[in-house]
Structure 1
Amino acid sequence: MAGQYELSETCGANSTCQNGSCVPDGAVCAPGVTRCVSATQYETCSADGGGYGGRVQCGGDEVCENGQCVSGCNSVIGEKSNIGCQYVSMRLNQANGIRAQGHSVVVSNPGNEVVTVNVTSPGVSNLNMPPQSINPQQSTILNFPVSPMIGEAGVSNQIYVINTSKPVIATQFAPLNNPGVGSETSDASLLLPTNALGNEHIVLNWPGPPSMGDIPFPMPGLGAADTYIDVVAIHDNTSIQVSGPVALSGGSAGSMAANSSQTFSASRHQVLHLSATSGGFGSSANTDLSGTVVTSNQPVAVFVGATLVNIPDAPVASSPATGCVSSGVSCSLNAECCSGICGNDLESGSLKCMDSLKAGDHIEQQLFPTESWGTSYVATPFYSRGVNDFAVYKVTAARNNTVIAIDPPVNGLSSITLNRGQVRQLHAPHAFELEASDAIMVAQFMIGGQTSTLEMGDPAFLLPPAVQQFRDDYVFLVPDQYAMNFVTLIAPTGVDIELDGATVAASTFTPVGGNSAWSYKLVESLAGGVHRASADQPFGVVVHGIDDYISYAFSGGIILPD
C-alpha cells in the first residue's frame, strides 16, 4: 500500500496546512501537536496555538522521537513487524466464573544477545514483576495477575507496558494453559510492538450469544456476553473516532448509537473499553462489531474480543440441498442438514442437524492497522476433527469496490466485491486463495467442539497473515499442557522449510488453488516449548492447539508492509 494517501482534513478559511496539521492564522503551532525538546523529553502545543509547553519526561528506558516517547531500542529496528522493543498488554474480558487464571505473554528472543525485560503498569498497584533476562534463541513467560480485567466500559489505565533492551517477539495467551472440563476458555494473539501501530483499524469479530444452548444468557455466574473493542493510547492527546453499525457503551467516556459515529479521548497508556452487551435470552440486539471503523490522530493499539461466543451461532447453508432435514433430525454429513451443520448432540451422544454449535469460548485478537493489510491470502484449515469440521471466515475491505477472487470457489462464489468496512462471511473445510484488487483483512474462526464426537477444540479467533506479511524466519512458543498443538506452514510451491533444525520437504505439502503457486503443510504433534522455522523465501506460519472443549490460535509472525 506504499504511496497511497487520502484527504483526511480540509483546513478552514483562517488556517493553513503546516507539516500535515491545520494551524490557525497567527499561531505558531497546531494545537495538540508535540515535539521533542531533548533526547528524553517532549512538549505540546497549547490549545490556542500560541506556543509549546507542558514538558513531559519520558520513561527510564525510553527516548523521544518525532515528539513521542518510544522504547530506546526501537531505533535499531529497520522494519515494521511483530518484532519490537515495547508492547502493551492487558487482561481482556472473559465470562464471569471462568476467570480463575490470569493471562500470560510469552516473550521470545530471536537474536544472539541476552535481552532484559521490564514490565510496568500505570494503573496496577503493587505489581511484583521483577526484570527478567532471556538468553539468545530462548523465551520467557510473563504471568500477569488475575485482576484487574478490562470489563467495565470507559477509560482506565489498568494495562501493562513491556519494555525490552533489544528486539523481541511477544504473544499473548489468555490463559497460557487451561485444559480440562469446566475450564473451557482460552485464546491467543500475536502482539504488535508500539513502533508498528497505526491510525486506522477496521474491526472483524464475533458477537456474543443471547443464549448458551437452552440456558438463558446472561446466566448466574457468567454475566452478560460482552463483545468489545479496547483501544490503547500510546501518546497523550489521543483522539479516537469510532463509527459503525452497533451501539457501543463507553461508560463515563460517552456512548455511540448504532449506525453513527462518536469521538473519544484518551491519554498516554489509557485504554478505552467500548462494549456491546447482549440483551439476554431472546434478545435481537446486534453485538457483531465487524465493520466498525476506528481512526485516531495518533497510533493506537486496538484489541477486539468477546467474553463468550458460539461458532457458528446460526445456520451456514446459503443454498440448502433439496430434501435436506431440519434441526434435531439424525444426520451423518453437514450437507444433509438444511442448516449446513451436523453436530454432536450432547444428550444423546449422536449426530443431529443443528442451527448452531452451543459449546462456547472466549476469543481475542490484536488488530492489524489498515495501512499494513495485504491483497493476497492463503486460507488453510485447522486440524480436522471429523468429516463435518470446517472453518468460518470473515473478510473486509479498506476501500470501496474491492474485487476479491476466490480459488477454488467457496460457497459457490468465485469472486466477491466489498466496499470499505463491508463484511462477507464464508465457510470451508479446505484451503483456498483470496486475491484482491485492494487491501483486505481476513479473520478465521475455529468452530465449536460439537462438530464431532471427539469433543475437542472450541471457538478460536485468528488473523492469518497476508502473503505480503510473510517472513523468512519465525520464533514461536506453544503451550505444554494442550493435548494437541499444530503449526501450519504456507510456502511457495516447491520450497522446503526448516522446522527446529529438520527439513519439512516441499514434496509433503498440499497445493492450493488452480495455479498451485502456494502449498501448505499441517505439522501435527508439535511439542510444547520454543520452535523456530526458516526458509530461503518468505512463507507463512499459523499456530493452533486443541484440548477438551478448548482451543487457541495465533499467527506465528508478520512483517507489516508500508
Structure 2
Amino acid sequence: MQYSKHTLFLGLGLLAAAASAAACSASGSSAGPPRPGNTSGGGSGDGGSSTNTSTSGNAGSTSTGDDIGTGTGGSDPGPELVGDPKTCAEAAANKSYIGCDFWPTVTANIVWSIFDYAVVVANAGDEVAEVEVTRDGASVAHAEVQPNSLTKVYLPWVPELKGPDAGVCASGESISSSVRVDGGAYHLVSTRPVTVYQFNALEYKGAGGPDGKDWSSCPGLRMCPSSGDAYGCFSFTNDASLLLPSTAMTGNYRITGQQGWRSASMGGYAVITGIQDGTSVTVNLAQGASVIAGDDIPATPGGGSFTVDLDAGDVVEILGTPSSDLSGSLVTATRPVQVLTGMPCVQSPVGYKACDHIEESVFPAETLGKRYFVAVPTSPGGEVFGHVVRLYGNVDGTALTYPSGRPDGAPTSIDAGQVVDLSVVKRDFEVVGDHEFAVSTFMLGAEIVDRNTAPPDQKGDPSQSHATAVEQYRTKYVFLAPSDYDESYVDVIQPLDATIMLDDAPVDVEPTPIGNGSGFGVARIPLGPGNDGAHVLTASAPVGIQVIGYGSYTSYQYPGGLNLVLIAPPPPPPN
C-alpha cells in the first residue's frame, strides 16, 4: 500500500485511486459506506462525506433532521470512587485509569523512526514513583516520577509492529499483512499509582526528544529527487492513547475503530497484547470485517472467527482489508488482555487534507455505559467545527434516544456488532441506550479545522478518541498535555452548576449547555504549560474530560481518564 504523506499534506492529490499514492500528515478518521449487516454509512464513496444521511439497517431507522430536543437526559451517573489510590493495592481495587502495571505497545505508523515512540508517566501522589520498563524480561528503562509531576520515557520502536518508514519523499508502504511478535510489548511497572499515555510518535517537529538528540539525519532535511525540495523535519503522522492498567483489563472487548481506507489501500487494525501466560484469544469478526493473513493469523472473512494463544508480552497486530471494517468484532479471552485499535493513516473525512495515524485503547465491554455526552472537540484558536462520530452496538435491539435532539443519520436502535457512522457532526449531543453501547469520535483534517490559515502552517488533522460513559465520570483527573505541541485544550463535560478547579485555580469558563434540559454543558479550557505538561483537574461533581493538542498538520485527542468499574455484563458470543 504505497502512499505519500506529503501529497496529502500539500493537497496535490487528494482522491487517489487504489493503485495511486495517497498521503499522510497528522491523526484521524472518516465516515464510510454502508455494508450489509454491519455498518450504516454517512455519505457515499469509499470514505463517506459530510452529507448527513444514514440508515441504521434492520435495527434502526432513518433520520434526516437535526432537531434540538427538550428532554432532561438519561439516568444518573454510576457510583463515584472517592479519592485517589495511594497504593497499588488500592489502585487495583478501585478500577480506574490509575494503576501500577501497564503494557505499552507499538502500532503501525510510517512516521520516520527518528521521531520517538514514548510513554509519559504522571504521578499525582505525594510520594516518588519508581518506574521500571522491561521487554521480554530484559530491562529497557528506569525513571523516577516526582510527586505531582510527570516523566517522559523514550522507548525503542518495535520495527515489526511499526512497519517500514516513509522514504525521503515522504511516501512509503505500511504493513501489508497481519503480524505476530512474541515478547513485542513493553511492560511498565510502578511502585506507586500513576497514569500512562503512549505517543506514536511524541514529537511533531525535529526538536526536543531525549537529552542530546541529534536531528541532523532526519530524512525530511534531505532533498526529494522527484520534487527537488526538502519536505522538512516534521512527523506529519502521530497520535496518542490513554493506556489502561492491567488491573482494569478484562477478557471481553468490542472493537471500536475506523473502517479501512479503500482508495489508499489502507486497512485498519486491532492490536491485542497478552498480559498473562497461557491466554487463549478468540476473535469473532463482524459481518463487514475481513482479515489479511500473517504469521499464525489466518485470512478470515466477515462472520468468521479464529483463535490465537498468547503469553505475557506477546502481541498480534490483526490487519483488516482496506475495503473492510474490523469495528464491531468481538474479542474474548480466557484471561485479561489489552486491545488497541488504529490505522497507519487516514483522512477525516476522506478527501480533506490531511491524513494522519490514529490509535486508541479499546475499553473493556464490561465498562461500557448507557449514557454519553458527545462533545465536538475544540479546534485550533478555540473554534468549534465538528467531528466524525461512530456508534457501536453491543447488545441486540438496543434502543437509542437523543434527549438533546437527534443528529442527522442517528439511529433509534442498534444491534450487537453493528456500527453506524454519523458522518460529520457539528454540535454537542446526548445519547441514551437501554443497554450499554460505545461511541468513538474522530477529529477532522486541518483543511477544515484551521481553514483560515494558509498552508503549510495549518494546525490539526485526524485523531481518534472515545466518548466516556457518564457512569464512569470522575471528580479528579491527573492528565497530560505535552509541551511539544503549539495549542492544547481540555474539554470538560460537566453539570452546569459544578465548580471546576484546574491546577489549584478556579476555572472561569462558562459551560455551553448541551440541549435544552440535560443539565450538562461543555467548558472548553485552553491549557497553559502546567507542570511540564502535567495538570490536575478537580470538580464538585463527576465530570468527563477530553484532552486535545495541535501542531502543524498534527493533532492528538484522548479521554483524559475515566473510572473502569465493571457495570455491564460480558456480551454473549455471536450465534
Q: Counterpart in 1 of 2:480?
A: 477
Query: 1:216-270 CA distances to partner (integer Å, 9 max, x unpaired)?
Result: x46xxxxxx3421111111122111112232213522131223311122212221
SS at match of 1:78: helix
Match of 1:558 among 539, 559, 562: 562
Q: Which residue of 1 aligns with 2:144?
A: 133
Q: CA deviation at 1:405?
A: 1.2
Is 1:379 the counterpart of 2:420 in the alignment?
no
Q: Does residue 539 of structure 1 match 2:554?
A: no
Going by fraction, where is strand more abundant, 1 or 2? 1
Whether 2:159 is the aligned partner of 1:159: answer no
Does residue 260 in structure 1 map to residue 304 in structure 2?
Answer: yes
Please say if residues 397 and 422 of structure 1, whose CA atoms lie closer than 8 Å, have aligned partners that are also in contact.
Answer: yes
Q: Retained in 2: the 8 A contact 1:208–1:310?
A: no
Which residue of 2 is the match for residue 332 of structure 1? Answer: none
Q: Distance in 1 between matches of 2:113 and 2:262?
A: 20
Match of 1:306 in 2: 343
What amino acid maps onto 1:248 in structure 2?
Answer: V
The residue number in structure 1 matching 2:523 is: 521
Aligned counterpart, 1:395: 391
- Residue 484 of structure 2 corresponds to residue 432 of structure 1: no
Is the 2:115–2:235 contact (alpha carbons within 8 Å) kept by the matching residues of 1? no
Check the 8 A contact 1:119/1:160 in 2, yes or no.
yes
2:400–2:413 Cα contact (<8 Å) kept: yes
Q: Which has the higher contact order (CA 8 A, sep 6+)?
A: 2
Name the aligned partner's letter for residue 103 of structure 2.
Answer: V
Cα distance in 2 for residues equivalent to 1:226 and 1:400: 27
Structure 1 residue 179, shift from structure 2 partner? 4.0
Query: How many Å separate the matches in 1 of 2:157 and 2:314?
Result: 19
* Aligned equivalents of 1:388, 1:486: Cα separation in 2: 12
Query: Which segments of 5 or more consecutive residues in structure 1 lack a partner in the other structure?
Result: 1-71, 212-216, 219-224, 279-285, 314-355
2:499 equivalent to 1:496: yes
Following the alignment from structure 1 to structure 2, what is the Cα–Cα distance between the partners of residues 140 and 384?
A: 27
Tell me which residue corresponds to 2:117: 103
Give me the identity figure in percent.
Answer: 30
TM-score (norm 1): 0.72
Deviation string 1:318-356 (CA, Å, 9 cap, x unpaired) is: xxxxxxxxxxxxxxxxxxxxxxxxxxxxxxxxxxxxxx3
Superposition misfits of 4+ residues, deviation over 6 angstroms: none
Partner of residue 90, structure 1: 105
SS of the aligned residue for 1:253 comes to coil
- Answer yes or no: is the 8 Å Cα contact 1:227–1:289 preserved in 2: yes
| Whole-angstrom distance in 1 between the partners of 2:482 and 2:160 | 22
Q: Which moved more, 1:229-238 or 1:300-309?
A: 229-238
Partner of 1:530: 534
Paired residues of 1:189 and 1:365 also in contact (CA < 8 A): yes
Which amino acid counterpart does residue 88 of structure 1 have in structure 2? W
Looking at structure 2, the residues matched to 358 and 259 of structure 1 have their Cα atoms a distance apart, in angstroms, of: 34
Question: CA 1:247–1:87 in 2, change beyond 3 Å: closer, same or farther?
Answer: same
Distance 1:90 1:415, change over 3 A: closer
Please name the residue that 1:340 is paired with. Answer: none
Residues 442, 465 of structure 2: 8 Å contact kept:
yes
Query: Alpha-carbon deviation of 1:385?
Result: 5.3
- The 3 A distance-change label for structure 1 pair 414 and 395 is closer
- Amino acid aligned to 2:303: N
1:174 aligns with 2:218: no
Confirm or deny: 8 A CA contact 1:138 1:530 kept in the other structure. Answer: yes
1:512 equivalent in alignment to 2:514: yes
Residue correspondence of structure 1 range 214-363 to structure 2 within 5 A: 217=264, 225-244=266-285, 245-255=288-298, 256-278=300-322, 286-313=323-350, 356-363=351-358
Q: Which moves more between the two structures, 148-157 or 424-433?
A: 148-157
Letter in 2 for 1:253: D
Which of 1 and 2 has greater Rg? 1
Show the counterpart of 2:261.
209
Residue 556 of structure 1 and its aligned partner are, at CA, apart by: 0.8
Note closer, same or farther for the CA distance 1:128–1:234 as it changes in structure 2 (3 Å cut).
closer
1:186 aligns with 2:186: no
> Structure 1 residues 208 and 495 mapped into 2: Cα distance closer, same or farther (>3 Å)?
same
How far apart, CA to CA, are the structure 2 residues paired with 1:99 and 1:465?
A: 32
In the alignment, does 2:127 pair up with 1:142?
no
- Please report how far the alpha carbon of residue 414 of structure 1 lies from its aligned counterpart in structure 2 after TM superposition: 6.8
In the other structure, the counterpart of 1:333 is: none
Per the alignment, do residues 303 and 268 of structure 1 end up closer, same or farther by CA in structure 2, a change over 3 Å counting?
A: same
Distance, in Å, in 2 between the alignment partners of 1:149 and 1:138 is: 33
Cα distance change of structure 1 residues 478 and 384 upon mapping to structure 2, 3 Å threshold: closer
Unpaired runs of at least 5, structure 2: 1-86, 164-176, 207-231, 567-575
Using the TM superposition, give the Cα deviation of residue 287 of structure 1 relative to its aligned residue in structure 2, in angstroms. 3.2
Taking the aligned partners of 2:136 and 2:102, their CA distance within structure 1 comes to 14
Following TM superposition, by how much is the alpha carbon of 1:453 offset from its aligned partner in structure 2, in angstroms? 3.8
The answer to whether the 8 A contact 1:91-1:102 is kept is no
Aligned-residue offset at 1:119: 0.4
Cα deviation, residue 132, structure 1: 1.5
Distance in 2 between residues matched to 1:362 and 1:502, nearest whole Å? 35
Change (3 A) 1:76 1:368: closer
* 1:402 Cα offset (Å): 0.8
Kindly state the Cα deviation for residue 408 of structure 1 after the two structures are TM-superposed. 2.9
CA deviation string 1:46-94 (max 9, x = no partner): xxxxxxxxxxxxxxxxxxxxxxxxxx93466431111111000122110
Secondary structure of the equivalent of 2:320? strand
Alignment TM-score, normalising by the size of structure 2: 0.70
* C-alpha distance in structure 2 between counterparts of 1:456 and 1:370, whole Å: 34
State the 1:397 CA deviation: 2.0
Task: Give the deviation of 1:277 after TM superposition.
Answer: 4.1
CA distance in 1, matches of 2:362, 2:301: 23
Amino acid in structure 2 at the alignment position of 1:198: T
Distance (Å, rounded) in 2 between the aligned partners of 1:369 and 1:552: 22
How much has 1:189 moved relative to structure 2? 1.0
CA RMSD, aligned part only? 2.2
8 Å contact from structure 2 (residues 404, 515) kept in 1: yes
Return the letter of the residue paired with 1:155: R
Which amino acid in 2 is paired with 1:378? F
Q: Is the 8 A contact 2:496 2:521 kept in 1?
A: yes
Q: Aligned partners of 1:142 and 1:412: how far apart in 2?
A: 43
How far apart are residue 422 of structure 1 and its match? Answer: 0.7
Q: Is the 8 A contact 2:386 2:425 kept in 1?
A: yes
CA–CA separation in structure 1 for the residues paired with 2:373 and 2:294: 40
